[in-house]
Every structure is written in C-alpha cells, then in structure tokens.
Structure 1
C-alpha cells in the first residue's frame, strides 16, 4: 500500500525493451533507497513495481504487458523524471489517502493555468472512468494524492490545484498540455458508484441508457442527480 505522498523524483537511467516486457533502471534521490531489498514495492508514477535488482542509489524493475497497456510507462525514455514513493510501513501516517499502486487509466492534460504561487491543471479522461470522479473527492495522479477541485461531466474533465510544495517535490511543474498521466481512482468511490449503478440497472433495465443520456445532456450523472434528504432534483436547479 502507498499513501500518495510522493517522496522524491527518480530519473530513468536505462530501458531494455523486450516483447511484452520492459526493464526499467532508475536512479533515486539520495537516501530514498536506504534499506530497500529485492522484492520491495515502489510506486513509479503511481504504478506499483517490484525491485528485481539493486545497487546503492539505483534499482531495476520489470514492467509487464498489462502495466504497459494501462500506464504511461511505455512512453518513458532515458532521462525521463518520474515520481516515486516507497511502500507504506505499518503505523505510518497516511498523509494522502490509501493507494494500491494499480493504475486504472490514463488522462490527458487538457489545460494548465498558473495563478500566483499556484498551478491548476485540467485532466480529460474516458467517460467510463469519469463517473468515479467527484468534486472534493480523492484521486491519485502519477502517484500523488490530490483533491478534485471541480468535475465537468459534459467534457469528462476535472481540475486539481497544486501548492508550491507539491510542485517542488514532484514532476508536475514540468508537465505540458497534451501529455498523459496515470490515474488511480479512489476505491471507496468506485464501490459506491458501481453499487448504485448495479441497483439502477436492476430496477430500470433497458431504461437506464436513456436516463444516462438525459442526465449527460444536463451535465449530470446518476449520483449527482440523486436528491439530498428533504430535497427534490428540481429544487437543486437554479
């Protein structure tokens, strides 16, 4: 398990590309790999990888086909800089939110804004994954635990804000529009959404696609359209 608090930026030293497998050698920041052993887990841009060989300051990881298909790791080159985090230890403070290191999908950086002492990025993702993203909810982007500031259902995009410390400790200050990032959605949110979706499918059957189309036209989804206690859906509209 990981906490989503990036502990440093590593550099890709060498890549050995084989059929269905990528061998990745990383150089770590000073002190990052103290006590690390073969078999240890490291989150590399959010993707949980296993150390297959190690020498002071460096380690090699094998990346299998499934990880290559779901993540941005296939696009790395020698010299690429990536976020890294060691696996959480028992009793460690969870400064972000619990992460498995299992990437769900990638998202494209659609826009970047840089107000004074801050940076705002908007990410666009596939509709099938956007249903799990909510304003003020958690999401992990390249292994960094972040809070969603807003979610646009019509464009399937969301924004997050970065404080100077996050920019200093990660690679986000180097990112550009058009690049892709790894996303791990919050598992509790996924379970909630899938449970409600399953209930609606059971109750509505063939009417569900029509309901989804109607809500999508309004920039809503099943969860955001559910009335709060004591309110109706129409009462929430301006």
Structure 2
C-alpha cells in the first residue's frame, strides 16, 4: 500500500532492456535506504515494483511486459525522472489517500497553466475513466495523491502547490506527457456496485 505522498523525484541511472523485461537502476536518496530490503515494494511513477538488488544506494527493479504495456515506464530513458515512494508501514500518517500501485492506464497532459504560485495541469478524460472522475474526488497521477479540481466533458484538472512541484516530476511537466493514472479504489467499488445493481434492476 502507498499513500500517494511522493518522497523524491529520482533519475534513472541505467536501463537494461531484455525481451519483455526491463531492469531499472536508481541511486536512491540516503533517507530512503534505511530498512529497504530485497523484495520490498517501491512505487515508481505510481507503479508498484519489487526491489531486486541493493548495492549501497544503487537499487534495481524489474519491470515485466504487462507493466511496460500499461504504464509510462515504457517511455523511460536513462536520465528520466521518476516519482519514488516506499511502501507505507503500519502506523504511518496517511497524508494522501490509499493507493495500491496498480496503474489503470495512461492519460495525456493537454494543458498546463502557471498562475502565480500555482500550477494547474489539465489531463485528457478517457471514456473508460469518466464514471470515476468527479469534482473533489481523489485520484493517483504518477503516484501522487491529488484532488480533482474541475471536470469538463473531455478533460479534468488538478492544482499543484510549490512543494509538490519541488519534490515530484511535475516540476518538468509538459503538454503531451503521458501520466500514470490510478483510480481511487473506494470510488471504483462504489461506482461499479451501483452500476451492477442498476443493471440487475433493469433486467428484473
């Protein structure tokens, strides 16, 4: 489980590409190393990955074909920044909302507004996500727990404060970027249950 509070934006040090399997190497900040073990879960751009080796601050992760197809990890290059969050521990503060690290798909950035001391990022709203995206709802975007500020027919936006911009990959966000999206699990459960019950009622 993750909280959606990204701890650092970290560069990809090395990518080893094999058929259907990429191995990513990152040099994690020292503060993220204590207690980290092989087999631990870490979210990169909101995608839950498993630590496969640790050598001082050099940490590696394997990315399988399914994750490459579904997430923006497929577009990473050496030097790319990724949002990093270690898995939450019992007793940790949940500053954002509960995220599983299971990405539902990629959405494109369609507009970036930068009024003073703010950053407003607009994303395309795909039909398959429309039932789960509404004003003031929670959403995971590249592993960040964010509140949806406004929804239009084909797009939605979030507001990013300076701290979020400083700590995450959103410091470099541009139109056309593909962003990993994770639907809030509670929202999905409610919406899917209501839709199922309504269909059953119509068929009765």
Tell me the TM-score normalized by structure 2: 0.96
Instruction: Give the deviation of 1:65 after TM superposition.
Output: 1.1
Aligned length: 203
Contact preservation (8 Å) 1:42, 1:49: yes
SS at match of 1:165: helix
Contact preservation (8 Å) 1:148, 1:160: yes
Instruction: Give the deviation of 1:102 after TM superposition.
Output: 0.6
Instruction: Give the deviation of 1:34 after TM superposition.
Output: 2.0
How far apart in 2 are the matches of 1:122 and 1:76?
A: 22
Aligned residue in 2 for 1:107: 107
Q: Name which structure has the greater RCO, CA cutoff 8 Å, separation 6+.
A: 2
Gap runs ≥5 in structure 2: none
Whichever structure has more strand as a proportion of its residues is 2
Aligned residue in 1 for 2:164: 166
Contact preservation (8 Å) 1:9, 1:29: no
How far apart in 2 are the matches of 1:125 and 1:136?
A: 15
Q: Does 1:178 align with 2:191?
A: no
Superposed CA offset, 1:163-192 (max 9, x none): 011111111020100110001110110011
* Max Rg structure: 1
Superposed CA offset, 1:71-124 (max 9, x none): 000100000011100111110000001111111111100100001000000011
Tell me the TM-score normalized by structure 1: 0.83
Q: Does 1:143 align with 2:143?
A: yes
Contact preservation (8 Å) 1:9, 1:28: no
SS at match of 1:102: coil
Question: Root-mean-square deviation (CA), in Å?
Answer: 1.0
Aligned residue in 2 for 1:222: none
Gap runs ≥5 in structure 1: 206-238
How far apart in 2 are the matches of 1:179 and 1:108?
A: 6
